Amino acid sequence: MLHPTAIISPTATIGNNVSIGPYSLIGDHVTLHDDVKIAGHVVIEGPCEIGSGTEVFPFASIGQPPQDLKFAGEETRLIIGERNVIREYVTMNRGTAGGGGLTSVGNDNLFMAQAHIAHDCHVGSHTVFANAGTLAGHVEVADHATIGAYSAVHQFCRVGRHAFVGGFSVVVKDALPYARTVGNHASCYGANTIGLRRKGFTNEEIRHIQHAFHILLTSKLNTTQALERLKAEMTGLPEIDYLIEFIETSQRGVVK
């Protein structure tokens, strides 16, 4: 399963049933768990760990040093979970000491061609990055989020659970969970109703989320007043509790 033209460091750890294609480079301190598939012409540098069942397509560059002028060669890591699909020309960089030293990716994500995960980002599970979806450093993307094609998320921003960022968007504040966030600079257009239905949310749960966004976006209340009204009317609903917590813990403000 290891092509004779592949270059594999003696310090790399290779699991069972791993395949590595022609002319790929597996560097020092890389760990490939069971059933990982590495196509030809892939470069993976360590320290880096790739979970079982993940597939990496040609010309991806994984675990390279961060594109941060403050980086001084310190040892940092990239950890990728299980069953991810990493398509052509995707780039994922290791972390920096100033950002905690770790870039992490969860499980069951799809990274389409040319997507970029910068240093110290933390991506959850079941996310979709369309072609050339781009994260600057220190971005957090929660589970089930979608980043549209050729969209960019500013450093230190967060993207909430089940958020949908439309194509060609520029996100400079936190993108709200369950919402459609689109444009340059991005604006929020309410609940991502179609996406929530596809993810199995009930009609009642969707109605609650729609009502919450009506209060946040169209009630003419400022954010503080809207949060107080949400707490008074809808506390105890898990989706709304998470939405409130997401807004209250924002450091950059949220897209409205």
68 included as an active-site residue:
no
Q: Is the pTM of this model over 0.75?
A: yes
Phi-psi domain of 89 (left: phi exceeds 0; alpha: psi -120 through 50; beta: other)? left
15 counts as catalytic: no
Residue 110 class from Cβ within 10 Å (0-12 exposed, 13-18 middle, 19+ buried)?
A: middle
Mean pLDDT of 101-114: 98
- Give the closest residue to 179 by CA, choosing from 198, 159, 152, 200: 159
Instruction: Say if residues 173 and 157 touch (Cβ distance below 8 Å).
Output: yes
Q: Which helix (H) or strand (E) element contains residue 209?
A: helix 203-218
Beta bridge partners of 55: 37, 85
Q: Looking at this protein, which amino acid is placed at residue 87?
A: R
Render pLDDT for 31-82 as a digit per residue (tens, 0 to 9): 999 999 999 999 999 999 999 999 999 999 999 999 999 999 999 999 999 9
Task: Answer positive or negative: Cα dihedral of 11, 17, 23, 25.
Answer: negative
- Say yes or no to pLDDT of 204 above 90: yes
Q: From the candidates 33, 119, 162, 208, which is the catalytic residue?
A: 119
pLDDT at position 167, please?
Answer: 98
List of domains in the chain: 7-138 (2.160.10.10), 197-248 (1.20.1180.10)
pLDDT surpassing 90 at residue 22 = yes
pLDDT in tens, 127-176: 999 999 999 999 999 999 999 999 999 999 999 999 999 999 999 999 99
* DSSP 8-state code for residue 144: T
How far apart are alpha carbons 186 and 170 in whole angstroms? 6
In the set 51, 99, 106, 120, the catalytic residue is 120
148 is catalytic: no
Q: What is the DSSP letter of 73?
A: S
Q: Which amino acid is at 135?
A: L
- Among residues 137, 148, 166, 195, the one annotated as catalytic is 137
